A and B are shown apart, each in its own frame.
Chain A
Amino acid sequence: MKLQKEAMDWLDSRLGIRELLHSNLNGYLLPRNVNVWYTLGSVLLALFGLQFLTGILLLIYYVPDTEKAFASVTAIMNQVPYGWLIRYLHVVGSNLIMVFILLHMFSVLFMGSYKRPRELTWLSGFGLFNMGLIFCLTGYLLPWSQLSFWATTVATDAAGAIPVVGDHLIVFLRGGPSVGEATLGRFFALHVMGLPMAFLGLVGFHLFCVRRAGISSAPFGDDYRPTELTKSFHHQEHPGGVPFHPNYTIKDLSMIFFALALLVAITFFAPWLFIPPDALTPADPFSTPEHIKPEWYFLWAYQSLKIFPSALLGLAAQGAAMGFLAMLPFIDRGPERRPSKRPIFVTLYLLGILLTIGLSIWGHYS
């Protein structure tokens, strides 16, 4: 313990870290009624951290060449000691992250936490959501299986719906007229370097916004009052609150443990859950599997493209929906955050979720 104190003293006299730690941990007061949904951010951080770790480990043995990619993944799964574990953690982890991102987004929407002054937090978060989707899209091409090849073909085909530039866009995205070596190259670069760097930057900004604006009170209970919106900046204080550390750090830790338990359970007992049979066969550019469809988090987009009479209309509808969601803080400007007092919003919210789930299920069975 003496050593610890001496180390802290050394750092403190040079960087003043005691004050930093105090103002962000023990001295950082949060509202008492912060609910379990508030922990999802930390859970996502932990899961993303694990993705980075397993991803870097996979990089050691994976070969980004159309002739060797599938074989390298097979080698990781069968010859590299515990390669199967690292690979499954990475695959299951990526899917769980999408689930938790959606849950995190749903809770933010429900509690109206995107509203002023937290619009930037929302925008950066929405960007992170899209980044997660692109991480998944670029990632599942890499094993070069039938699923990889054809799901990417279907996904990039969607760009063709855009008038004038559509076909050129498809070729640009793929690096060629059809999915091939060039596509693998650029998707690999994006997945392994481009996106991680952009992600780290954006998550840093997102966390900065969260900390800088201060934690919002949960809009429930009789004591809640809508915050007064001021022209000038002020950090959301909670004078009667409880310290972030140890109260909420331990809560975050417990939810991280539960999330990891779920991750490990699926990895060991149902690893096939997120790996359809097409993902186990090497890519064959001349043979399209029957019923090829993208991963579950893209099914809503896939199905909505199919139900509109023209692909362009379908794409436009999706774009409008995503755009609406992105711009939400600028559309829904009222200061009221209590769900009980926002009936229109809550109705649209529930309908939106049901619609997305419905489209996804339809997409799965069609």
Chain B
Amino acid sequence: MNDSAGKAAERRTFLGILLGGIGAVVAGAFSWPLFRYLSPIDKGAEQQQVRVPRQQIAVGGTHFFSYQGRPAVLLQPKAGEFIALSAVCTHLGCIVKWVDEKQEFLCPCHGGRFSTAGQVLGGPPPSPLETFVVSVAGDEVLIG
């Protein structure tokens, strides 16, 4: 009687350790996501600067390039004044084209039009083109 009780106690301890182990694994598996969730988000990759040599953009002309993984456009409407905009139309996502004669952007998908400042001039787009921070350093234009 005592023997079987002893064996039962041993088994119970073993099972208890097993259960504790599983509990620890589950808790550990949850604590990693918890730690990552609470940690500050690394925004380093998002803020890469793009440099464009000044000569590439004529006065009244544009230069299309990639910024943060998406098409963007740099323009110089007046000498020395640079503007950087997202080239993604805010209507449904097509890439806008530059219309030199009218000095405005035109979206080939549904005719949305944007000014040199990115403001909506006509058509279905609901909001202006996103603007990016621009600065000039010597003979380079810095975006972002």
A–B proximity contact (CB within 8 A): yes
A69 at the interface (CB under 8 A from B): no
The residue in chain B whose Cβ has the minimal distance to the Cβ of A79 is: B41
| Residue in B19, B26, B41 whose beta carbon sits within 8 Å of that of A80 in the complex | B41
Query: Once bound together, how far apart are the Cα atoms of A57 and B41, in whole Å?
Result: 15
CB distance from B36 to the nearest CB of A (A): 4
**Residue in A closest to B15 when the chains form the complex, CB atoms:** A250
Q: Which residues of B contact A260 (CB under 8 A)?
A: 26
The verdict on A226 contacting chain B, using a C-beta distance below 8 Å, is no
- A243 at interface by CB-CB < 8 Å: no
Distance in angstroms between the alpha carbons of A60 and B36 in the assembled complex: 13
Q: How many angstroms from the CA of A99 to the CA of B37 in the assembled complex?
A: 28
- Whether A86 lies near B41 (C-beta < 8 A) is no
Q: Which single residue of chain A is at the shortest CB-CB distance from B12?
A: A246
A82 CB-CB contact with B under 8 Å: yes
Distance (Å) between the CB of A202 and the closest chain B CB? 28
Q: Which residue of B lies closest to A264 (CB)?
A: B26
B138 contacts the other chain (CB 8 A): no
* A85 touching B33, Cβ below 8 Å: yes
In the complex, what distance in Å separates the CA atom of A60 from the CA atom of B26?
24
Q: How far is the CA of A151 from the CA of B41 in the complex (A)?
A: 34
> CA of A86 to CA of B37 in the docked complex: distance in angstroms?
9
Q: How many A-B residue pairs have CB under 8 A?
A: 23
Shortest CB-to-CB span from B22 to chain A, Å, is 8
Q: Please give me the residue from chain B that is nearest to A80 by CB atom.
A: B37
CB-CB nearest in chain B for A254: B19
User: A60 to chain B: which residues have CB within 8 Å?
Assistant: 38
In this assembly, does B39 line the interface, its C-beta being within 8 Å of a C-beta of chain A?
yes
Interface residues of A in 28-87 (CB under 8 A from B): 57, 60, 79-83, 85-86
Interfacial chain B residues near A81, Cβ < 8 Å: 33, 36-37, 39, 41
A58, B61: Cα distance in complex, Å: 47
**Closest A residue to B36 using CB positions:** A81
CB contacts under 8 Å to A, within B12-42, are 19, 26, 33-34, 36-39, 41
A82 to B36, CA, bound (A): 7
Chain B residue, CB-CB nearest to A58: B37
Q: Which residues of B contact A86 (CB under 8 A)?
A: 33, 37
Interchain CB contact under 8 A, A82 and B37: yes
Neighbouring A residues of B37 by C-beta, 8 Å = 57, 80-83, 85-86
Contacts of B41 in A (CB 8 A): 79-81
Q: Inside 8 A of B38's CB, which chain A residues have their CB?
A: 57, 60
| B34: chain A residues within 8 A (beta carbon) | 57, 82
Q: What residue in chain B is nearest A50 (Cβ atoms)?
A: B30
Rounded to whole angstroms, the CA-CA distance of A165 and B26 in the bound complex is 52
Q: What are the residues of chain B within 8 A of A83 when measuring CB–CB? A: 37
Residues of B within 8 A of A82 (CB): 33-34, 36-37
What's the least CB distance linking A90 to chain B, in Å?
12
Q: How far is the CA of A62 from the CA of B68 in the complex (A)?
A: 25
For the complex formed, measure the closest distance between the CB of A303 and the CB atoms of chain B, giving whole angstroms. 38
How many whole Å from B15's CB to the nearest CB in chain A? Answer: 10
Point out the residues of chain B lying under 8 angstroms from A80, CB to CB: 37, 41
Q: Which of A73-126 contact B (CB under 8 A)?
A: 79-83, 85-86
Q: Which chain A positions have C-beta within 8 A of B36? A: 81-82
The residue on B at minimum CB distance from A85 is B33
A285 CB to closest chain B CB, in angstroms?
A: 15
Closest to A82 in B: B33
| Min CB gap B111→A, angstroms | 23
A-side contacts of B26, CB under 8 Å: 260
Per the 8 Å Cβ criterion, residues 192-221 of A in contact with B are none
C-alpha spacing A82/B41, complex, angstroms? 12
- Give Cα A85 to B36, complex, Å: 12
Besides A79-B41, A253-B19, 4 new A-B residue pairs in contact (Cβ under 8 A), listed by A number:
A81-B37, A82-B33, A82-B37, A86-B37
Give 17 A-B contacts (CB < 8 Å), ordered by A residue.
A57-B37, A57-B38, A60-B38, A80-B37, A80-B41, A81-B33, A81-B36, A81-B37, A81-B39, A81-B41, A82-B34, A82-B36, A82-B37, A85-B33, A85-B37, A86-B33, A260-B26
